Structure 1
Amino acid sequence: MNSAPRKPRVAVVFGGRSSEHAISCVTAGSVLAAIDPEQYDVVPIGIATDGRWVLESGDPERLRITGPDRLPAVDGDRATIALAPEAASTGLVVTEPSEPPRTLGDVDVVFPLLHGPWGEDGTIQGMLEMAGVRYVGAGVLASAVSMDKAYMKLVLAAAGLPLLPSVTVTAGEWKRDEAACRERADRLGYPQFVKPARGGSSFGISKVHDATELEAAIAEAVRYDPKVLVETAAVDAREIECGVLQALDGTPETSLPAELRVGGDHEFYDFEAKYLPGQHTEIDIPADLPAEVTAQIRELSVRAFEAVGCEGLARVDFFVLPGGRVVVNELNTMPGFTPTSMYPQMWAASGVDYPALVDRLIRLALARDTGLR
């Protein structure tokens, strides 16, 4: 008797140890709601803030932000998950207290919806590569380079992409020779932005208007990362974002660019403006730009994607300075997938709706090799 073929099993991994734990949970809720259960067997796996892997709820409603102080989190008391070394490389084991392990079965692809360190930075990608597991998104090197804004700038500059001037300051350098660090920062001029070099979701970012504010800004950034990026502010610039998505043949395609306009009391696109409702952030898709500027942004997006060696997807952020000069701000290898996130909104406006976007990313991951590429 012929049995129906097994559906591909997709492990959606979210949460993690970084400060972006809650945003990862919200992203996962949106993706879990979009994956077609007729096409895929979905396994929601959470990583608690202490690093434990657990079988999580697949209920998207549990993974929503319901207020400034009501952020979702992985339930660390659930059944523990572990990679099974004795199984095929994709085997997972469920361990219940006082029960023998139960094999969850082979996982065909992992969708790592992790933001920030210990997830978006090449760490989980390296683990999956070692285990021979296919996964969505950029590989080890591209993930690591893109997570570290200082190294990302080095790579993009080497590829000839236009950037804003910046310097890197570590917590150790600041402690040993604050005067030298201040001198390097002063050369950039003011205003400037100070941010964790390996962070996201606008945590730890400060706008520094003059030298008297630098110390507090460094201290705030160091709360999230001992490596800090100090960057010239793009005064009166327009903030533009563009999505990159590979076609099934591997060709990188670009979305319509979008423009962000932050209103209310926000001086820049901070956490509240990004993720909380009612924050007066306006979005134009497509951005109202001259045709030649739009074409330049889409071209630079592909160049940045290829310079870093991305796979699957990326979001490239730009500033359009007064006078029309375009500079790259940063590149995100696992952009947010929340309902208010720019990446899915840009692709929806470009003709690829949310379920189709998620499906393409899974299909791309299923089709690629598990060895060197």
Structure 2
Amino acid sequence: MERGISLNSARSVLDHLGGEDIEITPFYFDQKKRVYKISKAQLYSNTPSDFDFKLHSSAIFLSKLNFLKELRKCDIAFPVMHGLFGEEGKIQEILEKNNIPFVASSSRACRLAFNKFYANKFLQKKGFYILPSILLKKGDNSNKKQITDFFHKHNISRAIMKPAHGGSSIGVFSVNTVQKAYAQTNFIFNRGIDRQVVVEPFAKGREFTVIVFQNMKNEPVALIPTEIETSYKNDQIFDFRKKYLPTHGTFYHQPPRFSNVQIRAIQNQAEKIFNHLKMSDFARLDGWLLDDRNIWFSDINPLSGLEQNSLYFQQGARIGFSHQDLLRYVTRNACRRHGLIFPKNNFFNKKKKPVHILLGGGNSERQVSLMSGTNVWLKLRKSKIYQPKPYLLDFRNNVWELPYALILNHTVEEILLMTKSAKKIIKKLKLLEKRIHTRLGVSKKDFYEPFFLPRRYSLQRFIKKSPFIFLGLHGSPGEDGTIQAMLEKANVKYNGSPPDVSKLCMNKFATGQVVRRLNILGVQTAFQKVLHVSKIKNTKETWQKLVHDLGTSSLIVKPLSDGCSSGIMRLFDYKDLAKYIFFVKKEIDCIPAGSFQNQKEIVEMPSKKIHELLFENFIKTDVVEIRGTKLRHIHKTGWLEITCGVIGNMKNKKLHVLNPSITISEGEVLSVEEKFQGGTGVNITPPPENIVSKKILQKTKGLIGRVAKGLNISGYARIDAFMNIKTSEISIIEVNTLPGLTPSTVLYQQALAEPKPIYPRQFLEMIIANKNY
């Protein structure tokens, strides 16, 4: 269930621990626990499903014996498997039996910590406060009676149901009746999520999480806890989406809004639990500061998630640690425990060219921009050519120079609120971090990313002081030519296309018109029509005219000038149109999941008032799906949705077309999660030959290249289209002049699929170098 998060963690280890002095070799367990030695390139996939079906040709299968032989060639193992097998002690047991050193806790500690019910009982025996709970087992006929008795005994009006062996968010449900509790229990059993379910009262209080490290004396040291503020109304919880995709629905307070006495109490208890469980190196403990002031630890995670802006890295950054510092610290300590010598820090200090990365903004794509810009900054920190520095664009076009720690916050809103309270944060951190530094045995001269007061600049002053600006912005004003025009006027170099091209491609309707005028044989666009929202009075008549004019039975609607995921929806009838217009006029932040047919996730809406809507005919595509390790293609129309990157070539000044990716959507249109959230959404790169022949692929790439050239694309871009696998024809959806550069973006996968693989940092360096900088 948590394979995607595991892939994110592995990618972070490769990016931030790997280097000239540390060689990373990735081993992958598939869903049947078969082991493969995979390439580093595969760690940049969006999900394991991107490569599961081709492991037989892209990886080396290892028998148990050969796996152990390969492991013995390594100095130490770093397990990053979350959930079952990885955190319940199974992989640790294999490593222990074969005397292979590894990072993190023993099999015994993992077994004790990972079962939520027995961990709760263990803590109770050790004198910690706990909430009551019951354990339900699959096949037990008394489950409903147990739930009924539990609700009555503890006077429960709201309960939490969760897998006994799962992570802290997948398969977790909030219920308010016995019937719902029983239904969700059966759902967990029937879906194969777990064979045991824990039922507990909904905790009333403030949620937190705390990372615990082990120092060089084998003592646990708790970092400063993070308070999690989210809405719990209408049975909402801190779920998978809130945890792993930036959303304004959740706010992280770092440090927490607790008193220093409460913080110390949480730290002390967390350290005692770490010791009682005999854990090693690091762990993450989730809990609640309850309304009655008791502290309850609800989940103990032997392997914390390590995605790039995870709470693990956020808490480390609050006390001055970079990503590299944190991973080297825990790995060094693990090596010391196993009697291994860890390489000394050998950082590259050569003077490098400054690159100012601009991210954030005030539109609906600001959180994706934050992910893109943060990833560009982190990747370029290891560059031997460029010295990156992140800057945040706020809602009023001010630009903020930020400390390392604040950039890792999950949302633009969080960061801006932190800038206002930075003085208080610094004061509180000074009181808390000194003790942690002392106990960890580190000083500022060892490694330190200082928490300084954020510095505010006007956009004009920021531009004036910047030799090169890497635009990590999406949507307006970063992608519509506005900022590009300012940079041109100031003679400042930047990535991407010039102002006129950016402005054109931001308008999907205008782009379609120009593509049609290019008159390239084999290239078309969807049938399109633009309507002003205020002109749509009678939705039934409007619907009938649209489907007639566009020659379709269902429609795709999207805001005329916004990003590639904001507000896009498939409409099936005039009632859907009326509902969509209602949401647009109401100016809501997002459309709730399930509002439209097959709409599995919320749909973020533009932050500015929508005046014009673009309607297109819906193009029915073939079915391409992953079932376990099998790729299935069902022919319907011969059309597939693809996305294809282009990048400039410094030598011949021509655009090079990368191998396209087949994009697979679970709903009617690709969601923002599927496009940008690591561990979600499947991209198949390059298209397999049994679906798309080499000849068709080359023709399609040629057409993409001609479209990019005809639009005067410069530097790099991503073109979304439908391709016909029989004729090589393409139908252009849109052109992104500043495409997403999040940790597992499809552009990296396409660059890595080149005959000579281009790794992400190299790809970013090429984007900058293409501008003669």
Class of the TM-score when normalised by the shorter of the 2 chains: 0.7 to 0.9
Cα distance, 1:72 vs structure 2: 5.8
Distance 1:241 1:118 in 2: 23
Match of 1:302 in 2: 271
Query: TM-score, normalising length from structure 2?
Result: 0.41
Aligned length: 332
Paired with 1:366 and 1:141, the residues of 2 have a C-alpha distance of 20
Of the three residues 78, 83, 99, the one matched with 1:132 is 99
Q: Deviation of residue 166 (structure 1)?
A: 0.8
Deviation at 1:125, TM superposition (A): 0.3
> Does 296-305 or 325-334 show the bigger shift?
325-334
| Offset, 1:220 | 2.5
For 2:35, the equivalent position in structure 1 comes to 53
CA contact (8 A) 2:42 2:51 kept: no
- 1:155–1:308 CA contact under 8 A, matched in 2: no
Gap change, CA 1:158 and 1:38, over 3 Å in 2:
same
Query: Given that residues 167 and 185 in structure 1 are in contact (C-alpha distance below 8 angstroms), is that contact kept between their aligned partners in structure 2?
Result: no
- Is 1:328 paired with 2:310? no
Shift in Å, 1:114: 0.5
1:178 corresponds to 2:144: yes
For the aligned residues, what is the CA RMSD? Answer: 2.4
1:39 maps to what in 2?
Answer: 21
1:301/1:46 CA distance change after superposition, 3 Å: same
CA displacement, residues 120-146 of structure 1 (integer Å, 9 cap, x when unaligned): 110000000011000011101110111
Deviation per CA, 1:89-137: give whole Å up to 9, x if none: 9631xxxxxxxxxxx8611110000011111110000000011000011
| Alignment CA distance shift 1:146-1:120 (3 Å) | same
Residues 263 and 280 in structure 1, CA contact (< 8 A), matched pair in contact too: yes
Whether the 8 Å CA contact 1:194–1:208 is kept in 2: the answer is yes
**What does residue 357 of structure 1 align with?**
326
User: Structure 1 residue 208 and structure 2 residue 175: aligned?
Assistant: yes
* 1-structure distance, mates of 2:115, 2:245: 26
Q: 1:79 aligns with which of 60, 68, 73?
A: 60
2:212–2:270 contact (8 Å) kept in structure 1: yes
Equivalent position to 2:227, from 245, 259, 263: 259
Q: Which is higher, the Rg of structure 1 or of structure 2?
A: 2
Percent identity for Structure 1 against Structure 2 = 25
Q: Corresponding residue for 1:225? A: 194
Q: Which protein has greater RCO, CA pairs closer than 8 Å, 6+ apart?
A: 1
Which residue does 2:78 correspond to in 1?
Answer: 111
Q: Which amino acid aligns with 2:329?
A: R
Structure with greater helix share of residues: 2
**2:40 alignment partner, SS class:** coil
Q: Matched residues in 2 for 1:305 and 1:213: separation?
A: 35
Q: CA deviation at 1:260?
A: 1.0
Give the Cα separation in 1 of the matches to 2:284 and 2:60: 34
Alpha-carbon spacing, 1:227–1:32, altered in 2? closer, same or farther (3 Å): same
- Which deviates further from its counterpart, 264-273 or 345-354? 264-273
TM-score normalised by the chain length of structure 1? 0.83
Partner Cα separation in structure 1 for residue 231 and residue 60 of structure 2: 44
Question: What amino acid does structure 2 have at the position aligned with 1:316?
Answer: L
Q: How does 1:154-173 map to 2 (within 5 A)?
A: 154-173=121-140
Return 5+ residue gaps in structure 1 as ranges. Answer: 1-18, 93-103
Distance 1:312 1:177, change over 3 A: closer
User: What are structure 2's unaligned runs of at least 5 residues?
Assistant: 340-773
* Mapping 1:240-279, distance limit 5 Å: 240-263=208-231, 267-278=236-247
3-state SS of paired residue (1:356): helix
Counterpart CA distance in 2 for 1:233 and 1:177 is: 19
- Relative to structure 1, the CA distance from residue 73 to residue 56 in structure 2 (aligned partners, 3 Å threshold; closer, same or farther) is same
Which digits, 9 at most, give the CA deviation of each residue in 1:12-56, with x for residues without a partner? xxxxxxx11111011111111101412212101111122221122
- Indicate the residue corresponding to 2:5 in structure 1: 23
1:292 counterpart = 2:258: no
Q: Secondary structure at the match of 1:138?
A: coil
Q: Kindly indicate whether the alpha-carbon contact (under 8 Å) linking 1:241 and 1:259 is maintained by their aligned counterparts in 2.
A: yes
User: Is the 1:264–1:279 contact (alpha carbons within 8 Å) kept by the matching residues of 2?
Assistant: no
